[in-house]
Amino acid sequence: MACYGFSPFCRQCFVVIGVSINLSQYGMVFGFTGLLLPQLQDPASSVTIDQDGESWIAALPSLGLLVGNMIIPTIMGNLGRKRANIISITIMTVCWSCIIIANNLTTILIVRFFQGVSLGMVNSLSPIVIGECTSPKNRGAFLTTLSLVLSIGTLLVHTAASFLSWRETATICTAITAFDLVLILFAPESPSWLAVKGRYNEARNVFRWLRGNDEDEEIERIIEASVVTLRETNAKSNSFVLNIKRTIIDFHRTMKEESFYKPILIAVHVYTLGTFSGVNILTSYVILITKEIAGSEINMPIAVITLAVQRLITNAVAVVLMKKVKRRTTLILTTIMNIASLFAVAGYDLAKTCNLFENSLLGFLLLHILMFSISLGALPLTFIIIGELFSLKYRSISAGLSSTSLSVLFFVTLKTFPCLFDNIGLYGTFFLYGCVLVYCLIVLWAFLPETKDKTLQEIEEGFKSKSQNVELKVLRPLMDSK
């Protein structure tokens, strides 16, 4: 661990910076797509692609995301959050280095896949690390920084690639990931993971190093929950056959536990909302969409950079707001704005396509309004809510399962967008996205709880049945006596 002599808040910042820079690769990888494709389309490019190759370059990281989401629960659960973070950023550093020297489409596609693997790992990992290592009063703002660094990553590659070649841009990204690897090496392990592994004294020490001495009640409640889990694990027989039977019974019982399936169902709908908000295609197909709405006469580098800057500024505003406003209320209001913006852009594009009305400035303004609604709501709140939902007992597997849905959604939106654009136009695509958001809004309105200023243990107990909470209350005096 590092940062001795600093306040608990500064130490939490140190942990957040390490995992946030790793997650900023999301913005870099998918933002890189939007500027890589036009450069590869240049006849003078050393690497040639066709339309099918373009869609695979954009969508292939999403398949890697699926693999990353599948392996990260095991890595997080067995090796710990810190080692999982190190593995993820190491893969990304190697991938950016390979892009620098890539001289054919096959190499680029392979690298893009493994970039997705790294992103799939950090996608599940980052909100969990921040949720477990930061104080409830700061957790919302810290989780919002995840969307902020996403925007910073997007702005960085959009700006760099507007003036530099894709190889030079990849060089900059390599340097950033290498720096982050050094930071992560000095970060502490998650106290929650240490508690799950039965390393209670170490968990208390790390928790107090991160939080100070004013929040001891939370670590004691985490340890209580871990004791229950370890007691159940140690009670199992060593017989292979009996363990198989017990595994099947435990799986069936787990699937019926409200603290397991409810957060996952909510997380899937939150991810669906975030994916169909339009942020992915506005990042990966920014030039195509901007040309469609504002016309080819617009100064494209300036247009792309201004959208990225606006996204960054709005995310920064969201960081401040998340410390003051309720999560659930903000998500509902910004989603309504998001839906209205999608329908507005769709309506304008339809009028433009039918030669009824056209105003480049108005079209570009509508894109900015859409980006504003996304950056203020769906983008930051996805990370905040996901980081707060899952119970300690099932945190690794829950994050992996829910993030798998994100991978599928990413692939579907990025791979199908060119086809949808060609067949039903941008207006039809955005209208479809808006309808999906309406469905997600209804579900989340009904089932999403308020999580602001609650500890992770309080949120978990809110999902549990009464019998599970009674068990913890009975155990608590026994732990206090020890």
- Cβ neighbours of 335 (radius 10 Å): 23
| Structure-block tokens of residue 35 | 């500027």
Q: What is the pLDDT of residue 251?
A: 55
Kindly report, residue by residue over 359-396, the tens digit of the pLDDT: 989 999 999 999 999 989 888 888 778 777 877 667 76
Contacts of residue 359, defined as CB under 8 A and 6 or more positions apart, other chains included, come to none
Q: Under a CB-based contact definition with an 8 Å cutoff, are residues 444 and 330 in contact?
A: no
| Structure-block tokens of residue 217 | 């009640």
pLDDT at 195 over 70: yes
pLDDT at 412 over 70: yes
| Structure-block tokens of residue 135 | 């104080």
In whole angstroms, what is the distance from residue 314 CA to residue 337 CA? 14
Contacts of residue 284, defined as CB under 8 A and 6 or more positions apart, other chains included, come to 30, 31, 33, 34, 58, 414, 417
Q: What is the pLDDT of residue 233?
A: 63
pLDDT at 224 over 90: no
Query: Which pTM value belongs to this model?
Result: 0.73
Nearest to 190 by CA among 420, 66, 449, 15: 15
Q: What is the pLDDT of residue 246?
A: 58
DSSP conformation class of 375? I
- Cβ neighbours of 466 (radius 10 Å): 7
In whole angstroms, what is the distance from residue 208 CA to residue 260 CA? 28
Nearest to 337 by CA among 298, 304, 381, 305: 381
pLDDT band for 474, please (50, 70, 90 cuts).
very low
Quickly list DSSP for 221-278: HHHHHHHHHHHHHHTS-S-HHHHHHHHHHHHHHHHH-HHHHHHHHHHHHHHHHHIIII
Nearest to 173 by CA among 148, 186, 155: 155
Which range scores top for mean pLDDT: 176-180, 284-288, 404-408?
Answer: 176-180
Q: What is the pLDDT of residue 170?
A: 94
| Structure-block tokens of residue 474 | 């009975």
End-to-end C-alpha distance for the chain, whole angstroms: 28
Cβ-based burial of 296 (10 A; exposed 0-12, middle 13-18, buried ≥19): exposed
What value does the mean pLDDT take over residues 429-448? 94
Q: Which amino acid is at 321?
A: L
Kindly report, residue by residue over 325-340, the tens digit of the pLDDT: 888 889 999 999 999 9
Half-sphere exposure for 336 (CA within 13 Å, toward CB): 7
From residue 232, alpha-carbon distances to 99, 237, 260, 398, 466 in Å are: 48, 11, 17, 19, 19
**Domains located in the chain, CATH noted:** 8-193+256-459 (1.20.1250.20)
Q: What is the pLDDT of residue 464?
A: 67
Average per-residue pLDDT in the chain?
Answer: 84
In whole angstroms, what is the distance from residue 390 CA to residue 387 CA? 7
Q: What is the pLDDT of residue 8?
A: 87
Cβ-based burial of 209 (10 A; exposed 0-12, middle 13-18, buried ≥19): middle
H or E element, residue 114:
helix 105-133
